[in-house]
């Protein structure tokens, strides 16, 4: 059985993106183990004078490295991902590189109509950066709009079409992960390039 990390892409205490990942964790339990990770306690990124990475960040990096893939659920703030999500990705590309060639599925929930579509596009751009080099599942937007009314009291998605779509995308992600595992011939080189990359030398 695959083991995935579900990264809650916000520091909000009450988030429908957390609810979405919890729904996936419960609904797809027979196909994968999904461990949810919170980012609310991660300190603000600033290059430390001693180059030491906070223990909480190191722990998250190790969990991602050991996982078969990562699912990130992001809200949308001002057409972009939240600062808290950007912050953790900054840390996870500073001296540690757990996302290199790691399969990633992106989902998102928002209170409005668009369902975090711009934030998901923004996140794809970030994950494709030379310091991260994740493998993002293509053509796979899951946009949960009007998310405050999307879940029942027991945490289930109310809309049958949304449930069906998400289940289909998750099956595609399982296939994507399997395929990605076969595309590792350049992993060592990709890892080295990421470790050697510096904007100071561009």
pLDDT digits (tens, 9 = 90+) for 92-145: 999 999 999 999 999 999 887 777 889 999 999 999 999 999 999 998 889 898
CATH code of the domain made up of 2-196: 3.40.50.360
- β-partners of residue 151 are 157
Up-side HSE of residue 74: CA atoms within 13 Å toward CB?
Answer: 30
Average pLDDT, the chain: 92
Band (188; pLDDT cuts 50, 70, 90): confident
Asked if 167 and 27 count as a contact pair (C-beta separation under 8 A), the reply is: yes
Higher pLDDT, 134 or 195: 134
Rounded Cα–Cα distance for residues 39 and 87 (Å): 9
The pTM of the whole model exceeds 0.95: no
| Section 38-52 average pLDDT | 90
Domain boundaries, the chain: 2-196
* φ and ψ at residue 104, rounded to 5 degrees: -130, 135
The pLDDT assigned to 14 comes to 87
Under DSSP, is residue 81 helix (H, G, I), strand (E, B) or coil? coil
Q: Which of 64, 87, 61 is nearest to 6 (CA)?
A: 64
**What pLDDT shows up at residue 199?**
56
pLDDT of residue 200: 57
């Amino acid at each position: 059985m695959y083991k995935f990390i579900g990264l809650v892409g916000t520091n909000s205490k009450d988030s429908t993106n957390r609810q979405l990942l919890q729904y996936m964790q419960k609904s797809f339990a027979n196909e994968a183990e999904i461990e949810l990770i919170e980012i609310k306690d991660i300190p603000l990124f600033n290059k430390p004078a001693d180059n030491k990475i906070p223990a909480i960040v190191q722990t998250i990096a190790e969990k991602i490295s050991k996982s078969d893939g990562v699912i990130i659920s992001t809200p949308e703030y001002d057409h972009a991902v939240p600062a808290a999500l950007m912050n953790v990705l900054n840390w996870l590309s500073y001296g540690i590189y757990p996302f290199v060639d790691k399969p990633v599925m992106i989902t998102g929930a928002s209170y409005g109509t668009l369902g975090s579509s711009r934030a998901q596009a923004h996140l794809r751009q970030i994950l494709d950066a030379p310091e991260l080099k994740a493998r993002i599942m293509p053509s796979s937007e899951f946009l949960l709009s009007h998310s405050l009314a999307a879940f029942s009291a027991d945490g289930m998605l109310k809309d049958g079409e949304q449930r069906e779509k998400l289940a289909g995308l998750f099956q595609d992600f399982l296939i994507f992960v399997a395929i990605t595992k076969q595309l590792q011939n350049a992993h060592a080189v990709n890892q080295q390039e990421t470790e050697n990359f510096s904007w100071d030398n561009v």
